[in-house]
Amino acid sequence: MSFLDKDFLLENEPARELFHNYAEKMPIIDFHCHLNPEEIYENKKFDNITKIWLNEGNYGDHYKWRLMRANGVPEELITGDGDDYEKFVAWAGTIEKAVGNPLYEWTHLELRRFFGINELLTVKSAPSIYKKANEMLKTDDFGARALIRNSNVKAVCTTDDPASDLKYHQLLKQEEADSGFRTLPAMRPDKAFHINDVSYGDYLHELSDISGIVIKSFEDLVTALHQRYEFFTSMGGSLSDHSLESFTFAEATNDQLDTIIAKGIANETLTLEENNQYLTMLIEALMKLNNEFDWTMQFHINSARNFNAKQFAKIGPDTGYDAMGSQPDIVVQMQQLFKKMSTDGAIPKTIIYSLNPNDWLSLMTMMQSFQGNGVQRLQLGAAWWFNDTAEGMTQQLVTFAEQSLLPNFVGMLTDSRSFLSYPRHEYFRRVLCNYYGKLMEQGRIPDDLAIIGKIVQDISYNNAYRYFGFFK
């Protein structure tokens, strides 16, 4: 089989039939990404392929940055102010060595699907590819909205702070018919979680101002968040997202929480127990809010962020200095959380992603204990970040299928800051079809393309359409 030919990743005839006849042309719902709604509204165009592919300042693709550092590329040609062409050549030199890394496949898929460039990216080919891609970037097909629309995307969920005024979502809502897709907010209250940050008090003031609720207590904080849920809902929002690098279940009274919040505002050092209490009770409150508003709550757990303190201080977060987390009992701690919320009747629709695949089986068996009141209300999220390889995706599918009902899975997301990441959905669909094709070849599922093809289409698009309700 030649590199990235029409049947790559498809190892048997049923897999090929499933992909080409059922999955390939299905639309996309990108329910978790990090695209900037301002750039979508302004229909941003990029001056060159370096800016859309690698970085604009500290904003860009940290997946690529990690590989470039491993290849000895100086930081000025990664996140620094080096020449854009030199950055591109440095990436070309890196990708030459990335055989076996999913970025090798994704990079060439993006060149093929968006630019029609089938040539291998190398240091030698970099000048001609750079020139050709940059000429195409000047055209209308490479504005932000066109890139989304032409990728057959029907809905995009950005990641938004509760204190956001959602200005650009309001403007985009007025232009949905022209855009050809929906841009919806997804609430991510990270700043409310980070009670140890020196800016915590300032953030509560910001949240107070936009919600109209003066925050002096934990109850006030929950009331302010309730108002933001109301506002986000009015803007089409129905998702929240929560990053839990670690989690230890520890409940507290409102009086204890008020004391903890006061210490956070004053930038006083909190004990580990106080941190755990605040985080636990805030998550419980957010679960109740998600349940009340019939939202889907996403948890991203067991990551380890910003390992390199020197570089974090220099260039900030989300710059490629992260790793898989290794809290061994994090699922046990979440079990206690879900037990409590089950008793309170307040478990919302939930998707849990763990960066550590050792958690997946434990998570699936836990979630199966709390299913009900809807189709696959609790789900194991798609293989995330370091796991979104062909092998990682397959492992996630196997775990989901063995412990629950994979045909109910809501499928893939980009989790990306790039407008060129949509071929990841194609990649996932190929892996999905190959998984089912193997089962058909082994005689483990019916040799019926219509039956299995419908399942493939559901996982590719239909389940997300039904589960999230973005088009009510």
pTM (2 d.p.): 0.97
Kindly report, residue by residue over 121-174, the tens digit of the pLDDT. 999 999 999 999 999 999 999 999 999 999 999 999 999 999 999 999 999 999
What pLDDT sits at residue 28? 98
pLDDT higher than 90, residue 278: yes
Q: Supply 239's token pair.
A: 């998702």
What pLDDT sits at residue 110? 98
Q: Does 3.30.420.10 match the CATH number of domain 188-383?
A: no
The domain locations on the chain are 1-44+147-155+163-180+410-472, 48-142, 188-383
Give CA separation, 151 vs 114, 389, 399, 413, in Å. Answer: 9, 21, 29, 13
269-275 own/partner pairs: CB under 8 Å, 24+ apart = 270/195, 270/196, 275/195, 275/196
- Among residues 114, 237, 238, 226, the alpha carbon closest in space to that of 172 is found at 237
Contacts of 31 (CB under 8 A, 6+ apart): 155, 157, 186, 239, 410, 413, 464, 468
CATH of region 48-142, choose from 1.20.1260.10, 1.10.132.20, 3.40.50.620, 1.10.2020.10: 1.10.2020.10
- Map tokens 């719902």 to a residue: 29
Same fold, 1-44+147-155+163-180+410-472 and 48-142: no
Based on the number of CB atoms within 10 Å of its own CB, is 308 exposed (0-12), middle (13-18) or buried (19 or more)?
Answer: middle
pLDDT higher than 90, residue 58: no
Q: Are 20 and 430 in contact (CB under 8 A)?
A: no
Residues shown for the chain: 472
Least confident interval from 180-184, 309-313, 334-338: 309-313
What is the rounded distance in angstroms from the CA atom of residue 295 to the CA atom of residue 343? 19
What pLDDT sits at residue 59? 84
For the residues 61-65, what does the mean pLDDT come to? 95
Confidence grade of residue 1 (pLDDT, cut at 50, 70, 90): confident
pLDDT higher than 90, residue 39: yes
In the chain the first and final C-alpha atoms are separated, in Å, by 44
For the residues 249-256, what does the mean pLDDT come to? 97
Kindly report, residue by residue over 195-227, the tens digit of the pLDDT. 999 999 999 999 999 999 999 999 999 999 999
Scanning 174-253, the segments in alpha helix (DSSP H) are: 176-179, 190-193, 200-211, 218-234
Rg, Å, the chain Cα set: 23
Strands 28-30 and 153-160: parallel
Kindly report, residue by residue over 385-425, the tens digit of the pLDDT. 999 999 999 999 999 999 999 999 999 999 999 999 999 99
What is the rounded distance in angstroms from the CA atom of residue 21 to the CA atom of residue 429? 12
DSSP strands (E only) in 245-341? 296-301, 303-304, 323-324
Give the CATH number of domain 1-44+147-155+163-180+410-472. Answer: 3.20.20.140
> DSSP of 402-430, one letter per residue?
HHS-GGG--------S-TT-THHHHHHHH
